[in-house]
Each structure stands twice: as C-alpha cells, then as structure tokens.
Amino acid sequence: MRRQLVFVLLFLAHLVLSQQTVTGIITDENDIRMNAVIVINMSTDQKVLCNSSGEFSIVASRNDELRFVKAGYERASKRVLTDGINSQLTITLTQLPQEIEEVRVVKLKGDLSKDSRTVAKVDKAAQVQEAVGLPQPVGKMREKPAEVKKVLLPMLLGSLDIQGLYDLISGKARKQKRKYQYEDLQEHIAWIRDRVDDDYFVKAGIPVERISEFIEFSFLMKPHIRTFVKAKNLSAVLLRIEETIPLYTERLQQSRK
C-alpha cells in the first residue's frame, strides 16, 4: 500500500513538474499585435484570452497543442514543449478573405421620399448618436403582453382591465410572448452570424447550412451565452460556443449513421 502511495505521489509530482507556463505574442500579417484572441490548450480544454497587447500565458505540458481562434481569421495551431524547453511563442494570424458586396444599380423614380429610402445604406441618425453620445432607447417598441398578476390582482381590488382580461382569455398574450421569444432568438443568432465568418464554423466541422441550428443548440446547452450576446461581448460568446462544438459534432455524426 505504501509503495502504491509513493508511486502515485511520484506520478503527480512528475505531472506537475512537466507543466509549464507558456507565453507568447499574437500578431496579424502586418506585424500588428492583436487583442481578444482565444487561446485553447486542446489537451486540457483550458481557454484564455490574450490581452490588448497581444500577449498571452497558458499552462501546458510537453507536446500539448495550442489553438488560436479569432473571428475573421484563420485558425492557427502550435505544438509546445516538444523538447521540454519553450521560449516565448510568436503567432501570426492570417485574415480570411472578405467577400465584397455586389454593387446594385438602382433606378430612381423621381419621388424624393421613396428614392431616399431606396439608396440609403447608412443610418445617419445612428452615426450622429454615436458621434455625440446620445443615449439609445432602452428595450424594444413592443406591445407588452398581458400578465396574470397584473390583470387578476387589480380585479380583486375593484379595478377591471378589460383589454388585459380579453388578451389572457383569448390566448393573445401567450402568442405574443412566443412571438417575441422567437424574434429575440433569431436576432441573437443573426448578431453572431453577422460578426463571425462561416469558415470559423465550417473548420470546426459544422456544415454551412447548419450554422444557425448549431448556434441555437449552443443557446440551449449554455443559456448564459445569450447574456453575452445582449452585452455585445463577442469574445465571451465564442469562448462558450467553443465548448459546445464537440457535443454538437458528435450528435451530428451519430445522426448520419
């Protein structure tokens, strides 16, 4: 028993000593340091973000693979500690080619009110708000669905909300809630797809036609991802999405058998 304990302790000591903190710098093709790049140790699934100066540090053991991921850039991988000693790494990410939007020739009708909407591509009001820091409206302009509490409780106190009562009885309130939930879901999926190139998902083993389905699957597995979408924190979103990729691809492979 004592020999087994000694063996276990020696094994753990070897494991701990074999781990080292690997540091490095991440740049783009123009040698400009990048920020918010996800660094993943593929052996331990540990994930870190590089800082605003492109610097990172992560614990790794001999021959571990580090993967570097950023939306809009090709993934990069690096094996570390192949000889037990590792100097500071320099990683260069290559930007993915971006498709240029097709130029449309628009025939004007001579009606200024209609033509201005047809050719407008930039939201001037949004530009002004961003430039001068005007506050954005909070929430969405929606009709608020009737709630049981806010309709029935006032009834007990002698106040009757006829419209709210009708919405509850007719099922309108329930339909509104479902509609808003669906709209919010599609909006959150679109927010990610607008900011992350399809190639990011394809290289992870997800077919183009299933990208939206996968994002919805990620929301289901990790509901807090949508909290980061609302906060417009893309780095945090991608960190959590990466964790759901293996589970989704495994289920995808099983469904094909």
Which residue among 52, 75, 92 closes a domain?
92
122 in a structural domain = no
CB 22 within 8 A of CB 86: yes
Q: What is the pLDDT of residue 171?
A: 79
Q: How many structural domains is the chain composed of?
A: 2
Residue 8 inside a domain? The answer is yes
pLDDT for 95 beyond 60: yes
Owning domain of residue 152: 145-256
Evaluate whether residue 171 is within a structural domain: yes
Question: Contact, 142 vs 170, CB < 8 A?
Answer: no
Contact predicate 198/207, CB 8 Å: no
pTM above 0.75, yes or no: no
- Are 153 and 240 part of one and the same domain? yes
- Residue 97 forms part of a structural domain: no
Tell me whether residue 111 is in a domain: no
Q: Which of 71, 92, 113 is the last residue of a domain?
A: 92
pLDDT, tens digit, 9 for 90 and up, residues 41-68: 988 888 888 988 899 998 888 888 899 9
Helix (H) or strand (E) holding 193: helix 172-195
More confident residue, 97 or 6: 97
Whether 250 and 159 share a structural domain: yes
Within-domain flag for 103? no
* Same domain as 149, residue 240: yes
75 and 159 housed in the same domain: no
Reported as a pLDDT band with limits 50, 70 and 90, residue 141 is low
CA angle 222, 40, 16 (to 5 degrees): 110
Of 57, 92, 127, which marks where a domain is finished? 92
Give the side-chain half-sphere CA count within 13 A for 215: 24
CB within 8 Å of 147: residues ≥ 6 apart = 164, 173
Residue 109 lies in a domain: no
17, pLDDT greater than 60:
no
61 and 150 in a single domain? The answer is no
